[in-house]
């Protein structure tokens, strides 16, 4: 009963977000005109470029390429199949453009690209169900209340639940690198919990909620250092639940603070507080925010280097994607925390700086919006490039800021 009461409370808060919005209501959430115009110009281009890139890179017998992800080292557009962890961000971004503008063409495009992601709902080999299905289908459901989308979300949540190990108390992240990890759990996985919380809300089945809370609690216990920075990967013994080791895969070093990992932690525990009202999650989100915002290696424009402990600072690549995730998380956190005014002011500064210094020229970068993100520096992959998830969280943050400025509750999923 306690769980259901919490769910009902959360559902009440989210009523605005799940209400069917008319085009007029959507348009009233408008972003700064210049930013919205640039986003639409770029998205038009990306819609033209993506099919061409997918056709050029198509391999007979291989899965079709369905979404744009980034640019190659030679500047070519890179498209990915639905199984790629980033595949859901572009359809989600199109849905956010529809929310921002009220233009039916963005809804039609979002529906088309979302349909390409739906088969992932039964892919039990991945923990990235939230990133893929919830950012696309979940955002579409929020804006349309389409019963088909609801069914897809519930099936995706059931699939994700199969990766939960009750002995560990967490959802397994990767199946690859089995020679390195037995049962790896990455901090990124916190964001996939949002799908499970939504599934309980949509179905009344609290088993999804219990899995999400168990995972959040296990991560809270084992992923964080004394200064509230997060490890990237914690490896567990699947038979005993014992922690085997703590290390990194995309950060500079095992004990360093990989920027996007810290962003996932901030966003994840803020979201978990929204869904549970557990004060421990709010405190954790505040601690992570304070670690980030007071770190001596945070640049003046608040857009982090790819790792807070990267050895070549200040001559290290930035990660605009981490900046966008942090800004979006801070805006939601500002609605819960006693430090809300500070968090909101700093999030706004981050967004202003991203818009001023990190956006593409109209018609450039094959249609991506944000520049200067870093995917995996240790792998020499996606360094100082656009990334689809940077665009998604940047647009989400801008819409959250606009809602707060209008005195409205956040339209969260």
Q: DSSP per residue over 270-281, as a string?
A: HHHHHHH--HHH
Residue 146 a catalytic site member:
no
Nearest to 128 by CA among 82, 77, 169: 82
Find out whether 260 is annotated in a ligand binding site.
yes
Q: How far is 212 from 198, CA to CA, in rounded Å?
A: 10
Catalytic residue among 44, 84, 128, 146: 128
Nearest to 409 by CA among 94, 91, 39, 11: 11
Find out whether 161 is annotated in a ligand binding site.
no
Find out whether 159 is annotated in a ligand binding site.
no
Q: Which two tokens stand for residue 172?
A: 């397994």
- In the beta sheet, which residues pair with residue 224? 230
What residue has token string 């306690």?
2
Q: How far is 234 from 288, CA to CA, in rounded Å?
A: 18
Residue 188 a catalytic site member:
yes
pLDDT for position 413 = 62
Q: Which two tokens stand for residue 217?
A: 């609690």
pLDDT for position 63 = 96
- Rounded to 5°, angle at Cα 335 from 333 and 337: 65
pLDDT for position 172 = 98
Nearest to 20 by CA among 197, 140, 200, 152: 140
pTM of the model: 0.93
pLDDT for position 176 = 85
DSSP classification of residue 178: T
- In the beta sheet, which residues pair with residue 243? 236
Asked if 259 contacts 304 with a C-beta cutoff of 8 angstroms, the reply is: yes
pLDDT for position 353 = 97
Each residue's pLDDT, cut to its tens digit, for the chain (413 residues) gives 445 444 444 443 343 333 333 333 333 444 678 999 999 999 999 999 999 999 999 999 999 999 999 999 999 999 999 999 999 999 999 999 999 999 999 999 999 999 999 999 999 999 999 999 999 999 999 999 999 999 999 999 999 999 999 999 999 999 988 888 999 999 999 999 999 999 999 999 999 999 999 999 999 999 999 999 999 999 999 999 999 999 999 999 999 999 999 999 999 999 999 999 999 999 999 999 999 999 999 999 999 999 999 999 999 999 999 999 999 999 999 999 999 999 999 999 999 999 999 999 999 999 999 999 999 999 999 999 999 999 999 999 999 999 999 888 776 66
Find out whether 319 is annotated in a ligand binding site.
no
What's the sign of the alpha-carbon dihedral 212, 270, 283, 355? positive
Domains in the chain, please, with CATH? Answer: 25-405 (1.50.10.10)
Catalytic residue among 188, 235, 319, 391: 188
pLDDT for position 3 = 52
């Amino acid at each position: 009963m306690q769980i259901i009461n919490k769910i009902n409370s959360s559902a009440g808060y989210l009523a605005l977000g799940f209400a069917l919005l008319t085009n007029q209501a959507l348009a009233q959430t408008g972003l700064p005109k210049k930013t919205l115009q640039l986003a639409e110009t770029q998205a038009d281009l990306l819609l033209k470029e993506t099919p061409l890139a997918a056709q050029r890179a198509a391999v007979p017998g291989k899965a079709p390429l369905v979404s744009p992800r980034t640019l190659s080292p030679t500047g070519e557009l890179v498209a990915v199949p639905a199984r790629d962890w980033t595949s859901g961000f572009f359809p989600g971004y199109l849905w956010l453009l529809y929310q921002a503008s009220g233009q039916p063409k963005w809804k039609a495009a979002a529906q088309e690209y979302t349909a390409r992601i739906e088969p992932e709902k039964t892919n039990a080999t991945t923990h990235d169900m939230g990133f893929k299905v919830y950012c696309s289908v979940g955002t579409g459901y929020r804006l349309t209340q389409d019963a088909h989308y609801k069914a897809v979300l519930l099936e995706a949540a059931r699939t994700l639940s199969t990766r939960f190990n009750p002995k560990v108390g967490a959802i397994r992240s990767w199946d690859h690198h089995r020679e390195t990890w037995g049962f790896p759990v990455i901090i990124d996985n916190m964001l996939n919990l949002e799908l499970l919380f939504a599934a309980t809300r949509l179905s009344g089945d609290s088993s999804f909620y219990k899995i999400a809370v168990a995972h959040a609690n296990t991560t809270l216990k084992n992923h964080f250092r004394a200064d509230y920075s997060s490890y990237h990967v914690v490896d567990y013994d699947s038979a005993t639940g014992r922690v085997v080791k703590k290390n990194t895969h995309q950060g500079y070093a095992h004990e360093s603070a990989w920027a996007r990992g810290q962003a996932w932690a901030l966003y994840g525990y803020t979201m978990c507080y929204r869904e549970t009202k557990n004060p421990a999650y709010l405190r954790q989100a505040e601690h992570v925010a304070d670690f980030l915002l007071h770190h001596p290696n945070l640049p003046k424009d608040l857009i982090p280097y790819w790792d807070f402990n990267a050895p070549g600072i200040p001559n290290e690549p930035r990660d605009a994607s981490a900046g966008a995730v942090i800004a979006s998380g801070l805006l939601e956190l500002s609605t819960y925390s006693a430090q809300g005014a500070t968090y909101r002011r700093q999030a706004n500064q981050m967004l202003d700086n991203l818009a001023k210094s990190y956006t593409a020229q109209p018609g450039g970068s094959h249609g991506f919006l944000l520049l200067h993100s870093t995917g995996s520096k240790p792998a020499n992959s996606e360094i100082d490039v656009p990334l689809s998830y940077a665009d998604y969280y940047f647009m989400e943050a801008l819409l959250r800021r606009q809602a707060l400025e209008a005195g409205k509750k956040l339209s969260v999923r």
